[in-house]
Amino acid sequence: MRVDENQLEGINKEHLSLHDDTYNFLGNMLSKQGKDVDGILKKLADFQVAIPSWALGAGGTRFGRFGFQGEPSTLEQKIDDVGILHKLTQTAGAISLHIPWDVPSDYKAIKEVAASHDIIFDAVNSNTFQDQKNAKESYKFGSLSNINKASRDQAIAHNIDVINIGDKLGSKSLTIWLADGSNFPGQSNFQHVLQNTEDSVKEIYKALPEDWKMFIEYKPYEPNFYSTVIQDWGTSFMLANACGDKAYSLVDLGHHLPNTNIEQIVSTLMMKGKLGGFHFNDSKYGDDDVTVGSIKPYSLFLIFNSLVYGMENNPQNPYPAWMIDASHNIKDPLEDLIQSLEAIQEAYAKALLIDQDQLAAAQKDNDVVKCQEILQNAYRTDVRPLIEKARISRGGAINPIETYRALKVRQGLIKERGINSVASGL
Ligand code: AOS
Ligand code: ZN
Ligand code: ZN
Ligand code: ZN
């Protein structure tokens, strides 16, 4: 199932006149305010977010999983799904694989499928939070932090395997997320598990190719509920520093306790040149992994304000690897990802509207009201016509969700894959 170019253009034509009206209004207004509209459009058009392979099927909770018909059951089909997203949105030009859920059987063929959709392989993710069939050692009591060396060694070897698999696909980074921690006070010695983890990540780091990066993700709780070894950005930052220049922290928006000032964490990490990766989602309570922008869009905008500032002022920080990390139980996963991509673009576009010079001047005068006005004026602008314009400039849909439905994409996938197909790996 592929999106037909002619049909896409036909649907765009129906939306074009309204788009032109709204875009002209917005473009004129922004130009009069002295904004570099073409520059902003280019940044929006260039912005690409990786799609994780595990977001393409309906997720689940421990209470059950409600499948979604036509789910991709092979790696090829997952890449095809990202191809559909990318065709419509022009923002999803990469896929992030999870090993062993997504081990390719034929590398050449897989690379060809990806190339045919104009998709690259982003960070590869290791998995030491589940025991694999026939594995000698268990991760029940931890992986890279485990008190038993044999389990640690197995987890280190797995991460090195993941690097080798990613290398064959053209990936350039490894993301490590550890479930390691404890469920009850006294269960583990905080210092020993942290030391073990540091020693283990250093071993993995030694196997990292010269042009690769390692991203270390943190998370305060879940699946462990008393302590997590890499619980916060400070721990992740410390481990990245212990490894070296190619190791970075990864911020996942759902991995903070309620009300944490994530935009400030982003600023601190970028100032120190250590923000390597980013996982988008939204959260009401914890690692909810709901649609980006569905709960706290203003926070997302403030986070993008920090990101934009960092991208423009911190050459010591590499360009971050963007990924959506979400998973759902009830929506069509592709529609949900389109909504997330739109919310990301919207927050980014609004942050690009902030006049950084004016803001710096107002900060210098300690004009608190002006500072707030500058941010809120940007936030209150309806930037959707700009995003549409950026999308059309690359051949995408003016309105991706409407187009997805008009083209009956899900029905096409069901016809091709059957109603009972189940996403592999979940
Ligand atoms: C887990 O909570 C982390 O967010 C991971 O980045 C990711 O969701 C996981 O590796 C996928 O199972
Ligand atoms: Zn994540
Ligand atoms: Zn998570
Ligand atoms: Zn999450």
What does the chain come to in residues?
Answer: 426
Dist. CA 325 → ligand 1 center (Å) = 7
In the predicted model, is pLDDT for residue 348 greater than 80?
yes
d(CA 377, CA 154): 53
* Ligand 1: residue whose CA is nearest its atom 12: 54
Interval between CA 352 and ligand 3 midpoint (Å) = 27
- Match 């709901």 to its residue by tokens: 290
Which residues sit with Cβ closer than 5 angstroms to ligand 2, an ion? 252, 279, 325
Q: How far is the CA of 102 from the centre of ligand 1 (A)?
A: 15
Pocket test for ligand 1, best of 252, 323, 424 (most atoms within 8 A of CB): 252
**SS3 at position 364:** helix
Residue 105 in tokens = 């059987």
Q: What is the rounded CA–CA span in Å between residue 253 and residue 376? A: 22
CATH of domain 48-347: 3.20.20.150
pLDDT band at 226 (very low <50, low <70, confident <90, very high): very high
Site of tokens 């592999």: 424
Span 56-70, average pLDDT: 81
Q: What totals of helices (H) and strands (E) does the chain contain, helices first?
A: 15, 11
State the ligand closest to the CA atom of 178. Answer: 1
Beta carbon of 177 within 6 Å of any ligand 1 atom: yes
Confidence at 5, pLDDT banded by 50, 70, 90: very high
Structure tokens at 407: 């083209």
Q: How confident is the model at residue 424 (pLDDT cuts 50, 70, 90)?
A: low
What mean pLDDT do residues 28-44 have? 97
Q: Is residue 288 classed exposed, middle or buried when 0-12, 13-18 and 19+ CB atoms within 10 A define those classes?
A: middle
The owner of tokens 């016809």 is 415
Cα(326) to centroid(ligand 4), Å: 6
Q: Which pair of tokens denotes residue 345?
A: 């673009």
CA-closest residue to ligand 1 atom 8: 325
Q: Rounded mean pLDDT of the chain?
A: 96
Strands 321-324 and 213-217, sheet pairing: unpaired
Residue 426 has a pLDDT of 47
- For 306-335, how does the pLDDT look when each residue is reduced to its tens digit (9 = 90+)? 999 999 999 999 999 999 999 888 999 999
Q: Which atom of ligand 1 is nearest to the CA of 222?
A: 2
Q: Is the pLDDT of residue 360 over 90?
A: yes
Look at residue 93 in the predicted model and tell me its pLDDT: 98
- What's the pLDDT score for residue 335? 97
- How far away, in angstroms, is 323 Cα from ligand 2 center? 8
Determine the longest span between alpha carbons in the chain, in angstroms: 66
Question: For residue 254, which atom of ligand 1 is closest to its CA?
Answer: 4
- Element (DSSP H or E) covering residue 252: strand 247-252
| Ligand 1 atom with least separation from CA of 52 | 11
Pairing of strands 213-217, 181-182: unpaired
pLDDT in tens, 96-120: 999 999 999 999 999 999 999 999 9
Q: Which of 286, 353, 280 is nearest to 321 (CA)?
A: 280
What separation in Å is there between the alpha carbon of 283 and the centre of ligand 4? Answer: 8
Tokens 């390691």 -> residue: 180
Q: 423: pLDDT confidence band, cut at 50, 70 and 90?
A: low
pTM for the model stands at: 0.97
| Closest CA to ligand 1's atom 11 | 54
The 8-class DSSP code of residue 55 comes to G
Q: Is 287 in the pocket of ligand 1 (CB under 6 A)?
A: yes
- Regarding the beta carbon of 125 and ligand 1, being less than 6 Å apart is answered yes
Average pLDDT over residues 325-350: 95
Ligand nearest to the CA of 54: 1
* 107-212-315-269 Cα dihedral, nearest 10 degrees: 110
CA of 190 to the centre of ligand 4 (A): 24
Q: Which residue has the tokens 């590869």?
A: 124
pLDDT, tens only, 228-285: 999 999 999 999 999 999 999 999 999 999 999 999 999 999 999 999 999 999 999 9
Which percentage of the chain shows pLDDT scores above 70? 99
pLDDT at 425: 57
Q: Which residues 6+ apart lie within 8 Å of 234 measured at CB?
A: none
